[in-house]
Chains A and B, each alone.
Chain A
Amino acid sequence: MTMKLQIKNISGILNESITLSEGVNVIRAPNAIGKTSTINSLKVVTLPEKDLKNHPEFLNDNTNDGSVSVDDENINDDRKIRRYGKELAVIGNPLFDSNGKSELLFAEPDNEIIHETIKGNSIEPFIERFSNVAIYQKINDDGIEPAIKRLKAFYDEGSEAVTKLKSKEKEIENAKSEREKLSKEREKTKPLVEKARAQIKNSGIIQEKNKNKNELIGDISRLSQGLKGKQKQKPLLESELKDAEKQRDEHIKNKSKIQAEQESLSKEKGKYEALQEDLDKQVSKLDDNIATLEQVSRNVDWASTKDCPVCGRPITSSVKNNWHKHLETERKQANAELLKTENRIKEIDNRINDIEDELNKINEIQENINNCNKDLTIIEKQIKFNTKDIEAKTELVNKLKKEIEELEKKSKIDPVLLKAWHEQGTLDENIGELDGRIKELKESYDEISEKAKGLSVLKRKIEFLQKIKEDIKRIITEMKNGVKNKFNSRIKEVYPLLNFKNFDEVFINDSYRIEVVRKGKQQELNRLSTSERVTLGVIVMLAGKEEYLPDFPFFVLDEVTTAYDPTRFKKIIDYISQKTKTKYVIVTAFSPTGDKIKIEKSI
């Protein structure tokens, strides 16, 4: 069984055919002859587009198009790459399906497992990516955490209101009890005041004026309380305004840059949309051509008819088949281009949306500033108006006091009774003032209680989201541990089969570091030689391949051989070729001489 690779314009290879046979394939050559290019060719037919597009070096520097075709018992197809700005465009799906786990197939120094193991680091980022936990992490970081933060801010505001509410309740209670005390004292003055009233001329008028005066005193008290509140609120609003302006200025620095990007993206989108339209037409035309060809095929007996019924030229079945194949290939390429264009449009749309979010944020801040300014103007007006109102009402109170005094002077009255009359007047003034204060306190109480409403709902929401956050954390841990455990149970199976005598046990520990047991003692990576670490990295990769991709046809060992001791290295190669379903073990090896790649069966 063999696998033939036809490589065109991949890295250093311009046009070469390489045949791999079942078992071990040692690609031997001096440097810069094409060992890595061959491995890159295998990557071209295996890696998903997202992993290929950032590797422009996979394409030969002197060309814009390259391809790798594979011919073996299951596959007879090719995959093309094309230069696309600083990236690569890939036409077609991978020919070998690694189910997104291609990291387990290419053992080379750049491979994350090997790289981190050599450095003695944890392989947690790899396990995280491999466990597909990113989606949960993103939901938590972009959605849950900020939502909890926002709810907590609302909750704190509400809690503050509840505290204020309690103190307002106390204030109202105190004012009411003081009022009751004053009312009792007033009751005591009543009999003497009754007598005084009988002696005073115009007592009705005086009583009326006193009533008006006391009501005005109540109003003044209420207004003064309100004024105090507004005077307190003003500096807070001014500080909020200052903060918002600062925030806006910071965002505005980037505004023109972002707008320029938005404009350029819109232009780019327009170009891609035009391209999309062209490609749509091209695909539809190819569809029509294929349909016509199929229709003609159905109506023509290819064995007996040698002329095309449409154009009248001689035509054979094989010409028809080639024509069909050519049209299908063209359609496949056009569809791939179309998909790529659609993806780019999606990417542009996403970025444009992000930019719009950013610009909207500036608008939101500006709106906040406008609202703050409005509130400040209103408060300033209210302060001015209340101050004037208080002044006018105080003037009126003083005028009434004078008028009452004049009227009292005109009445000859017993001094004892007059004293009681005045005492009652003072008490009435104080009661009026308290009434005004109680009224203002109640108004303020109602205002605050609005803010406190819904606090219990907010609390439930926060508690619910905190549980969700914990659940997501648990899911992430379980997923990571699940992957870790799968790797560990495979390592347990694979390691004894390698016939190494170095370690009693190899495993990934709870911190996602590779650890070994040697002579009954647990040892972390920093106690091991580089050669041993590379070996362990490869063992973890092999265990992963056996767990997730047991039927995948090849495994590559590129440039890691130099760090191995040859006996251990041979054992690994023997294990893969003899005890796994991997058909092709591909190993690169340096040769000091020669000008061509040689494929050998042993190291």
Chain B
Amino acid sequence: MKNENTQTSDNENVTFIQTLVKKSKESKVTSDVVLEMLEEKIK
């Protein structure tokens, strides 16, 4: 169970980083962009 959770969390991190990489190709990734993404993710 612990492993599954770790796996899920790792996948979430990878998705988050991939989104950041994608966004960085369109425009500069600032702290505002990161916080906005985080707002949707952690409420």
Residues in A lying within 8 Å of B, measured CB to CB: 135-136, 138-139, 142-144, 146-147, 149-151, 457, 460-461, 464-465, 467-468, 471-472, 475
Contact in complex: A151, B35 (CB < 8 Å): yes
Complex contact B21–A142 (CB within 8 A): no
The distance in angstroms between the C-alpha atoms of A474 and B16, with both chains bound, is 15
In contact, B43 and A147 (Cβ under 8 angstroms): no
- Asked if B29 contacts A471 (CB within 8 A), the reply is no
Interface hits, B1-43 → A, CB 8 Å: 9, 13-14, 16-17, 20-21, 24-25, 28-31, 33-35, 38, 41-43
Q: Which of B13, B20, B43 sits near A143, CB closer than 8 Å?
A: B20
Do the beta carbons of A136 and B21 come within 8 Å of each other? yes
Quick one: given A467-B13, A475-B17, are A143 and B29 in contact (CB under 8 Å)? yes
Cross-chain contact A468 with B21 (CB below 8 angstroms): no
Q: Which residues of B contact A457 (CB under 8 A)?
A: 42-43
- Within the complex, the shortest CB–CB distance from B21 to chain A, in Å, comes to 6
Q: Which residue of A lies closest to B35 (CB)?
A: A147
Chain A residues near B24: list those with CB within 8 A.
135, 138-139
A126 to nearest B CB, angstroms?
A: 22
Contacts of A138 in B (CB 8 A): 24, 28-29
A465 to B29, CA, bound (A): 14
A142 to B16, CA, bound (A): 16
Task: Assess the A465–B34 pair: CB atoms within 8 A.
Answer: yes
Kindly state the separation between the CA atoms of A460 and B35 in the bound complex, as whole angstroms: 13
* Residues on the B chain within 8 Å of A150, using CB: 31, 35
A135 to chain B, nearest CB (A): 6
Q: Give the Cβ gap from A317 to chain B, nearest Cβ, in Å.
A: 47
User: By the criterion CB–CB under 8 Å, are B38 and A143 in contact?
Assistant: no
B17 near A468: Cβ-Cβ < 8 Å = yes
Q: Which of A135, A147, A460, A471 contacts B34 (CB 8 A)?
A: A147
Contact of B21 among A139, A460, A461, A467 (CB under 8 A): A139
**How far is the CB of B1 from the nearest CB of chain A, in Å?**
20
Chain B residues lying within 8 Å of A147, measured Cβ to Cβ, are 31, 34-35, 38
By a CB distance below 8 angstroms, the chain A residues around B41 are: 464
Residues of B within 8 A of A149 (CB): 31
What's the minimum C-beta distance from B27 to chain A, rounded to whole angstroms? 8
Contacting residue for B38 out of A142, A461, A471, A472, CB 8 A: A461
* The 9 A-B residue pairs with the shortest CB-CB distance in the complex, in nearest-first order: A146-B31, A147-B34, A143-B29, A147-B31, A143-B34, A139-B20, A139-B29, A471-B13, A461-B42
B41 and chain A: residue at smallest CB distance: A464
- Name the B residues within 8 Å of A468 (CB-CB): 13, 16-17
A478 vs B38: C-alpha distance when bound (angstroms): 25
Chain A residue at minimal CB-CB distance from B13: A471
Q: Which residue of A lies closest to B14 (CB)?
A: A471
Q: Which of A136, A143, A460 contacts B31 (CB 8 A)?
A: A143
> Which residues from chain A contact B28 at a C-beta distance below 8 Å?
138, 142
B17 touches A135 (CB 8 A): no
- Contact: A143 with B30, CB < 8 Å? yes
Most chain A CB inside 10 Å of its own CB: which residue of B13, B14, B24, B38: B38
Q: Which residues of the other chain, A, contact B30 by a CB distance below 8 angstroms? A: 142-143, 146
Docked complex Cα distance between A147 and B33 (Å): 9
Q: Closest residue to A144 on the B side, CB-wise?
A: B34
B12 to chain A, nearest CB (A): 8
- Measured in the bound complex, the distance between the Cα atoms of B41 and A471 in whole Å is 17
Which residues in A have their C-beta under 8 angstroms from that of B35?
A: 147, 150-151
On whether the beta carbons of A471 and B21 are closer than 8 Å, the reply is no
Whole-angstrom CA separation of A155 from B34 in the bound complex = 17
> Which residues of B are found within 8 Å of A475, using beta-carbon distances?
17
Which residues of A sit under 8 angstroms from B25, Cβ to Cβ?
A: 135
